[in-house]
Amino acid sequence: MRRIHLAVGVLTVVVFLASGQYLRFHSPPLTAVEDGTRLLYRSRHIYILASGLVNLVLGLYVRARVAGWRKTTQAVGSALLALAPILLLLAFLNEPGRGLHADLWQSRFGLFALFGGSLLHAIASIGNPAEKRQGNAAGTEVA
pLDDT tens, position by position, 71-117: 999 999 999 999 999 999 999 999 998 877 778 899 999 999 999 99
Residue 33 domain boundaries: 2-127
Is residue 48 assigned to a domain? yes
Looking at per-residue pLDDT, the higher value among 63 and 7 belongs to 7
CA distance 39 to 55: 25
| Distances, alpha carbon 85 to alpha carbons 36, 49, 55, 56, in Å | 22, 9, 9, 12
pLDDT tens, position by position, 28-86: 888 888 888 888 999 999 999 999 999 999 999 988 888 899 999 999 999 999 999 99
Is residue 45 assigned to a domain? yes
6 close to 56: Cβ distance less than 8 angstroms: yes
Is residue 143 assigned to a domain? no
Number of domains in the chain: 1
Is residue 134 assigned to a domain? no
Is residue 70 assigned to a domain? yes
Evaluated on CA atoms 47, 53, 59, 63, the torsion sign reads negative
Is residue 137 assigned to a domain? no
pTM for the predicted model, two decimal places: 0.84
Is residue 139 assigned to a domain? no
